[in-house]
Amino acid sequence: MFRRRLLHHGPSHFRQRGDVLRFRLPRGIARRGRFGLLGLILLLPLLTAWADSWEGLRAAAQGITSLEARFVQKKTLPMLARPFLSEGRFSYQAPDRLRWEYDRPVRSVLIVNGRDIKRYRKERDGWREDTGAALSVMQTVMEEILHWQQGRFDANPHFEATLETGSEPKVTLTPKDPAWRKMLRRIELTLSRRQAGVMQSVRVVEDERSFTLLEFGQVAVNRPLPAARFRDVE
């Protein structure tokens, strides 16, 4: 039932399957809830179809005006006895505002507001703004995240995008340039089955023993966000 299919990027792809839910209704409300349950079952294919084609991903992204989530980042390296953990929060406001904030172990904030990007680090005497070459690298990374949030997984010409459908839809981005593949094997974006247009996790694979995993939780979609969140560090 949950056979997986691999779709290479093209102009017309996308579908997805949902989970089969089995539960017993209390006898007293079984009759009254029958038609509501039937309606839910009929609606499930529409709720899950968003992740079955490239068009479905873009359409789902267009329905998201804002998004907030917590994340846990796990960095795995051969030299580390256990993964290095970081935690933080993520905010997105369509079409081009983004806030990426680490709470621990070191506090830092990256704010994208249109073409303006700023990064801050928390030090003993307060917040300090970063400048220099590292900021331009972060700008490239944040632009890529904005593309993903907009459903434009194929926007970067340096990567080949493929979509794997099934019970856990996944987009895989593979570098086209052999020189890039020496530094980065692939990026795996696992899509949420419950919330259209939402990513469940991101896995950046340098090699099979070195990778970074980002897992998202406490996701809130289309809630009003204050403009100051994408302007002020605090």
pLDDT digits (tens, 9 = 90+) for 17-70: 333 333 333 444 333 333 343 433 333 333 344 567 888 888 888 888 999 999
- On whether residue 1 sits in a domain, the answer given is no
- Return the pLDDT at 72: 96
- On whether residue 46 sits in a domain, the answer given is yes
133 — pLDDT class (breaks 50, 70, 90)? low
- On whether residue 166 sits in a domain, the answer given is yes
Distance CA 60, CA 65 (A): 11
Percent of the chain's residues with pLDDT above 90: 43
- On whether residue 115 sits in a domain, the answer given is yes
Q: Rounded mean pLDDT of 109-124? A: 90
As for how many domains the chain has, the answer is 1
List Cα–Cα distances, 206 to 189, 196, 210, 211, 220, in angstroms: 15, 28, 5, 6, 30
- On whether residue 2 sits in a domain, the answer given is no
Q: Which residue has the higher pLDDT, 176 or 155?
A: 176
Q: Rounded mean pLDDT of 8-13? A: 39
- The three-point CA angle 199-57-192 to 5° equals 30
Which CATH number characterizes residue 120's domain? Answer: 2.50.20.10
Distance CA 36, CA 50 (A): 22
- On whether residue 21 sits in a domain, the answer given is yes
Using left for φ > 0, alpha for ψ between -120 and 50, and beta otherwise, residue 131 falls in beta
Q: Which residue has the higher pLDDT, 102 or 13?
A: 102
| pLDDT greater than 70 at residue 4 | no
165 near 15, Cβ under 8 Å? yes
Q: The dihedral of CA 41, 42, 45, 47: what is its sign?
A: negative
List Cα–Cα distances, 218 to 90, 122, 203, in angstroms: 11, 25, 19
- On whether residue 136 sits in a domain, the answer given is yes
Show the domain range for 115.
7-230
Considering 73-77, 194-198, 206-210, the range whose residues carry the highest mean pLDDT is: 73-77
